[in-house]
Structure formats: C-alpha cells, structure tokens
Amino acid sequence: MTVAAAPLEAAETASGKGSPGERPPGEPRLVGYLYVLPAFAVFACFVLYPLAEALWYSLWEWNGLPSSPATWVGLGNYTDVFTDEELRSAFLHALILLVFYAVLPILIGLLLAGVMARAQVRGLAFFRTILFLPQVIAMVVVAVMWKMIYDPENGALNRFLGWFGIEGKSWLGDFSLALPSVGLIGTWVYFGLAMVLLTAGVQKIPPSLYDAARVDGAGPFREFLAVTLPGLRGEIAVALTLTTIYALRNFDLVYITTQGGPGDSTTVPAFQVFSRAFESSQVGSAAAVGVTLTLVIFLISFTINRVAERSS
C-alpha cells in the first residue's frame, strides 16, 4: 500500500497539486511581488519620485526660491531645448563625445581581442589590471591629472612634443582642440572597461570555430569578421550601452577641466543642467534639459539592446 502510494505523491508534487495545506514554492504568484516590493520601494523613492518631480518642475518658469512665484509655461522649456542655440550645441557636443567615449574604446578593445584570439599573451591578467586602472580612479582625480598634462606652460604633453620640435598647444583653451582633448580623456578612461569585457568574451568562443576557419583558409582579418566579431555581439552591446551612458551624462570631467569653455565649445547637457539650476536660477529650464537627456539616454540604450537581441 505504501509502495503504491509513493508514485502517486510524486506525481502530485510534480504537477503542483500537493495536499490542501501545502503549496509549491512561488505559489500563489502574487507572493512573488512581495519579494521585489522592498527593492521597488527604494527605486520609487530615489528614482521615480525625483524623476516625476523634475518633470513637474520642467513645466514651470521658476528661479528655485520657495518664496518666488512660479509661472506656468507648459512645454515652453522643452521648445527651448530644440531652439536655443546654446542647448543644441550642448547636445551636439555630447553626441561628438560618443565617438571618444564609446566608439574608440570599443574599437581598441576589439583590436586587442582579435590579437588575443590568435596569440597567447603571457601575463595577460597583469596587463588587463594595468589597463583597467583608469576605471577605478575617481573622475575628479583623472580630470585634475589630465589638466596638468594639458597645461600649455609646464604640461607633460607639450614638453614631450617639444623634444621633437613640435610647438605646444593650448589644448583646453583652443576652440577647436578643447572638445577632442576632453574626449581623449574619456577614451583613456573607458577603453579599459571595453577591453576587459571583450577579452573576457573571446575566451568563451570555442577554439574549434577558429580551427575550422583556418582549415577553410581564412586569414586573420577574415577570421576576425567570421568568428570573433559574431561571438562578441553580446559583450559589444554591453560595452556600448555602458560607455554611451557615461558619455551622455558626462559632467565632472567637463566641469573640472574646462568649465564648458572656451566660450561654450565643451558644454554638454549635464553641465547645462548644473549651470542653469545653480548659477543662473533657471530651475524649470534645467529640469527640461535633464528630462530630455534622460529620454535620449533611454532611447539610445533601448535601441542598442533591441538591435543586439534581434541579431542574436
């Protein structure tokens, strides 16, 4: 009798129909929401509520003082984002910095990943640690250090160029050089992140795929396009998403190195949010710029991940 009842109990357990007093883990499903409720409460308090309040402020013209009256302007502050030349320049500069913060680091990371796929590098862990170091240094320290390197009088870069008879430049004071100079700092900081992600991804590609490509007569470049690049699709999406977010929300690097200058040649949206909110008392306009920047980051990140999912 006991032997005959055991399979029946096992079948009931497998089908989720236990005794009336027993429920399988996760049932009823509403219990699952209780597990995520604490995290959602924290997320709502520190992300959703401030975002909703910024959205509300963006519909008003207000100087930020509680005693000052606010004037309803509706979408007027958002109209300024597209018509104000200073704000358009800020968003254009942010898109240019994407090349330095996202594209160049990923290209350098892919180059190193391609080399690793064909050759065994001794001391790889040591080199990866060294190249990843800029990621763990506070951005304030990075900005001060590079400001000293770019110094037109005593900077290391101009002294290095002087050894070859090349005239030094005012890297952060020249209208045409300031933005690329800030961008190269971003490349130096973030190429370590891209390299670690991509070189780790190369190690999970089966060696048999490389062997098959070599048997078919594929050279290094063809092997990279046919095996390495498709195998790193997921890692490229992650690296592109992270570096894009870093590029678009960039503030501290610009604030310390150039203060948005010379003129407005290096101003970016995050710097405009700070400047308008705390320097020129345009809280509504600052909130509109912040909300617009959030939407741009969300749309670009969503597009990158959708493309990566479809291609995989």
Per-residue pLDDT tens for 36-76? 999 999 999 999 999 999 999 999 998 888 888 889 998 99
Confidence of residue 299 (pLDDT cuts 50, 70, 90): very high
* CA-closest candidate to residue 219, choices 309, 291, 117: 117
Confidence of residue 4 (pLDDT cuts 50, 70, 90): very low
115 or 240, higher pLDDT: 240
pTM score, two decimals?
A: 0.82
In order of start, what are the domains of the chain with their CATH numbers? Answer: 84-311 (1.10.3720.10)
Q: How far, rounded to the nearest angstrom, does the alpha carbon of residue 185 sit from its chain's CA centroid? A: 15
The whole-angstrom separation of Cα 241 and Cα 92 is 19
Mean pLDDT for the stretch of residues 100-122: 83
The whole-angstrom separation of Cα 108 and Cα 117 is 14
The pLDDT > 70 percentage for the chain reads 90
Phi-psi region of 206 (alpha: psi -120 to 50; beta: other; left: phi over 0): beta
Q: What is the pLDDT of residue 24?
A: 64
The whole-angstrom separation of Cα 153 and Cα 169 is 9
Q: What is the pLDDT of residue 183?
A: 95
- Residue 245: what residue type? I
94 or 211, higher pLDDT: 94
Confidence of residue 131 (pLDDT cuts 50, 70, 90): confident
Distances (CA, A) of 17 to 45, 151, 242: 40, 74, 45
- Identify the weakest region by mean pLDDT among 1-10, 91-100, 199-208, 244-253: 1-10
The tokens of 266 are what? 């290096």
Across the chain, what does the average pLDDT equal?
Answer: 86
Strands 71-72 vs 60-61: parallel, antiparallel or unpaired: antiparallel
274 or 210, higher pLDDT: 274
Confidence of residue 21 (pLDDT cuts 50, 70, 90): low
Q: Helix crossing, 85-98 with 233-248: angle to 10°?
A: 150
**135-184 tens-digit pLDDT:** 888 999 999 999 999 999 889 999 999 999 888 889 999 999 999 999 99
Distances (CA, A) of 94 to 98, 102, 107, 246, 277: 6, 11, 19, 10, 19
Q: What is the pLDDT of residue 123?
A: 74
117 or 309, higher pLDDT: 309
With 90 as the cut, is the pLDDT of residue 32 above it? no
Mean pLDDT for the stretch of residues 114-143: 81
With 80 as the cut, is the pLDDT of residue 255 above it? yes
Decide: 27 and 16 in contact? Cβ < 8 Å: yes
CB atoms within 10 A of CB 167: 7
The tokens of 9 are what? 């109990």
Q: What is the pLDDT of residue 8?
A: 47
The whole-angstrom separation of Cα 139 and Cα 7 is 63
Mean pLDDT for the stretch of residues 232-259: 91
**220-238 tens-digit pLDDT:** 888 888 888 888 888 899 9
16 or 19, higher pLDDT: 19
Mean pLDDT for the stretch of residues 131-137: 85
With 80 as the cut, is the pLDDT of residue 13 above it? no
